Chains A and B, each alone.
Chain A
């Protein structure tokens, strides 16, 4: 196999239409559809005493107003997506609340009208009376349990889980040094530039439901809608068209609109569309990252960690639709790239009166990394050892792979690192960072991390060579900007020996590929990428078989290159792939495009029936890839920052990244993923804070006050790669989507602490927070 495309910085094939303004985002389609708007709870916790929608229903231009009482599924709890034995008190919301609301922004009524303008007018006419209830807003308050979010959940505890490797109590007792530390990480918001949107059409004649959804998982949406509406899955089509960023929250399902928009379309016999506005996105779309960790670490005189005991609480929000995946990931990822023989982790997933949580890029890992890296800094400080040296002494060595951490992973398997070279990452980053610049108030921060990527259960792909010689391929997982159409084309083009421009990819359209899971957890390259590889290889094998008959050659002597199947060593002896595609389908009727070559009097006689037993027509194949376990990517980030001692303005002087995601499919795309991830991490570390008040109101639900960095806040980022291929999959790849973001909080926190000499044990920071830390110093 030639590897002409794999590894090359191929420019993206999806750019042209996006640059011309011809992208197809959900709100761009469906002209003439009815438009919708929600009535949402203004209270974080309240009993609904009455809902009056009569005036809204009577308003001209209003097609329907739905409350829970109007829905056949109004009394159903929405699905709990990932049940777990430790999730003893899982709770999910109903599509529309009718009795209790448990977060500000929870949906209460849904209005369908001729336009969004009219729907919003009608929303103003809906009268909902509430009786406010006590609010639980921080994880600490949830743990105190003076008030309950759910009456029937004692202590606000949705789940509790304890895992232990080695004997932590004994190791702590024998450790020469012990230290207790407390870390606090606040909620963040992914804030993709496109909010969520859903468009649906019901065809009564075909009994077919078509849904466009700005989702990370159209195949799962399809499955759920089929169950809810009692339709065969083949009668439900779900398409994630162009999706304007996801970063996690769009993997959550079902948001109420994902049921209400299709339901409305079925009831009203007209296409229905709902497009979120930015303000409702802030409260109605899942968030993540709120955790408080109580850590005790035991270490020796050289700074080697002997035992780590971490007891943390996780802010689950008002409901647990996504199960306890986030704290499970945190628990698994705290040890990171370090050898910790004795490790105990206990978590409690707690209910609060805030928007539910589910993964946001990094998903449990930035907080885990922050805990471990700040703890290593504390050890270095206690012993007077250089921070880099402490890391050197604790890193897992290259000859220790596969490395079993001894705790459970999010897929139920054990955490076993497949490959990596952590010392090389560290040394490369230190070399790239170089000497500290001269000047006052300059600090250095460094962090090493691992990332479990490419979780299962599986993805699949369909690859077909058309009679034109062009190739079409499809997979179930959608793109939110990750360049699927380019990188899958590279994988397929290599196997089929064609130009990457001759491969057209469809992703996230159940009409083209109905099976699969979704785009999340840095899994696309590993799962769908390898499925593309598997399917394309099957097509290549079939092409060789057919060409071998035609060329009277042995299939093993053939290769695919230059758009032809040809005899190795005799490139002139071959047949175009287009002709092979024609021959793959024995025909009675030619339909143009050269297909006459496959008709009964034109094709060469082959003994037996035209289609041999076991053969299928068409030069196509469907392949699947199901990973045996996660692939573990890794990296090291380091930075120099300067903090103004008066204004506490942050200036990032230098930021370096050394990253290892196994074999790199497209370095241009990878660079973009890393740069974007770091920028998101910087936002989360210093600018973006969700300011909930004690009543559970989000006080800064706009981009004017929730400060996503502009270009002016993001420094140039220097990136280098090492490649330790994963032994677990044919392509040797690992995921890269979340890598950029994971250690940024730890690195920036460490650098700021170094610059100012203040203790940093929380995220996010801000000028105000630094002022408080600096002025409260003893």
Chain B
């Protein structure tokens, strides 16, 4: 499988979750695990460009696919990705635990809808839980990300 444009062999352990594989085998700990039953969205990554829950997939299922994790959005030292920058400007994160999942969901949303309606924004972030922000600043972040992406 390809992760952030780098080719990796599939893990030997067939029952290894994709989320655990990314975090603990590849050291990509930016993908977080909040519930391990597919509700919180902290573990969201892009699979061939679409947001998926990495805790609901086995790592071996990702073989032959391209994955993008939060670490793949902006290289070290490079400016933040517009979605990341927007979260920063709008105080769209507090503890930062759910944040990579939200960022990946929003990247996926804007890839599909570069000019999302308010309804599309609401639906685009409604698959991720945040316990800190109350979502208001995350809505502002999406709006700002649209501006920054122009």
- Whether chain B is bound by chain A comes out as yes
Task: Chain A residues near B100: list those with CB within 8 A.
Answer: 19, 21
Q: Total interface residues on A, using CB and 8 Å?
A: 54
Contact B91 A671 (CB under 8 A): yes
Contact B87 A708 (CB under 8 A): no
Question: Which chain A residue shows the least CB distance to B35?
Answer: A278
User: With A20-B74, A193-B130, A244-B96 in contact, is A714–B135 under 8 Å at CB?
Assistant: yes
Task: Chain A residues near B9: list those with CB within 8 A.
Answer: none
> Once the chains are docked, how many angstroms separate the CA of A28 from the CA of B20?
11
Give min CB distance, A372 to chain B, whole Å: 24
Q: What are the 3 tightest A-B residue pairs by CB atom distance, in nearest-first order?
A: A21-B30, A244-B97, A481-B95
User: With A16-B80, A672-B94, A702-B35 in contact, is A21–B134 under 8 Å at CB?
Assistant: no
Q: Report the tally of A-B residue pairs with Cβ distances under 8 A.
A: 171
Interface residues of B in 27-59 (CB under 8 A from A): 27-37, 39-40, 42
> Once the chains are docked, how many angstroms separate the CA of A740 from the CA of B88?
22
Interface residues of B in 74-123 (CB under 8 A from A): 74, 76, 80, 84, 87-89, 91, 93-100, 103, 122
Contact A481 B94 (CB under 8 A): yes
Q: What is the interface residue range for chain B against chain A? A: 35 or more
Give min CB distance, B132 to chain A, whole Å: 5
- Describe B's contact surface by its main secondary structure: loop
Contact B139 A21 (CB under 8 A): no
Which among A67-75, A252-260, A676-684, A723-731 touches the partner chain?
A: A676-684
Chain B residues in contact with chain A, CB under 8 A? 13, 15-16, 23-24, 27-37, 39-40, 42, 69-71, 73-74, 76, 80, 84, 87-89, 91, 93-100, 103, 122, 125-139
Q: Quick one: which of A23, A31, A676, A679 contacts B96, CB cutoff 8 A? A: A23
Q: Quick one: which of A22, A277, A480, A717 contacts B134, CB cutoff 8 A? A: A717
Contact B126 A710 (CB under 8 A): yes
Which among A7-15, A231-239, A316-324, A758-766 touches the partner chain?
A: A7-15
> Once the chains are docked, how many angstroms separate the CA of A11 from the CA of B141?
13
Q: Is A245 an interface residue (CB 8 A)?
A: yes
Contact A672 B37 (CB under 8 A): no
Task: Chain B residues near A703: list those with CB within 8 A.
Answer: 35, 37, 39-40, 129
Question: Which chain B residue shows the least CB distance to A677?
Answer: B134
> Once the chains are docked, how many angstroms separate the CA of A277 from the CA of B97?
15
Contact A193 B70 (CB under 8 A): no
Chain A residues in contact with chain B, CB under 8 A? 11-12, 14-16, 18-23, 25, 27-28, 31, 117, 190-195, 242-245, 247, 277-278, 480-483, 668-669, 671-672, 675-680, 702-704, 708, 710-712, 714, 716-717, 740
**Which of B95, B98, B122, B132 is packed against the most chain A CB atoms within 10 Å?**
B95
Contact B95 A193 (CB under 8 A): yes
> Once the chains are docked, how many angstroms separate the CA of A15 from the CA of B70?
14
Contact A193 B97 (CB under 8 A): yes
User: With A23-B96, A481-B94, A483-B94 in contact, is A675–B133 under 8 Å at CB?
Assistant: yes
Question: Which chain B residue shows the least CB distance to A15?
Answer: B88
Task: Chain B residues near A195: list those with CB within 8 A.
Answer: 34
Task: Chain B residues near A28: list those with CB within 8 A.
Answer: 23, 29
Question: Which chain A residue shows the least CB distance to B72?
Answer: A21
11 A-B residue pairs with CB within 8 Å = A11-B89, A19-B80, A19-B103, A31-B24, A245-B94, A482-B94, A668-B91, A702-B37, A710-B127, A711-B139, A714-B135
Contact B30 A678 (CB under 8 A): no
Question: Which chain A residue shows the least CB distance to B101?
Answer: A193
Task: Chain A residues near B39: list those with CB within 8 A.
Answer: 702-704
Q: Quick one: which of A194, A702, A711 contacts B95, CB cutoff 8 A? A: A194
Task: Chain A residues near B84: list those with CB within 8 A.
Answer: 19-20
> Once the chains are docked, how many angstroms separate the CA of A191 from the CA of B31?
19
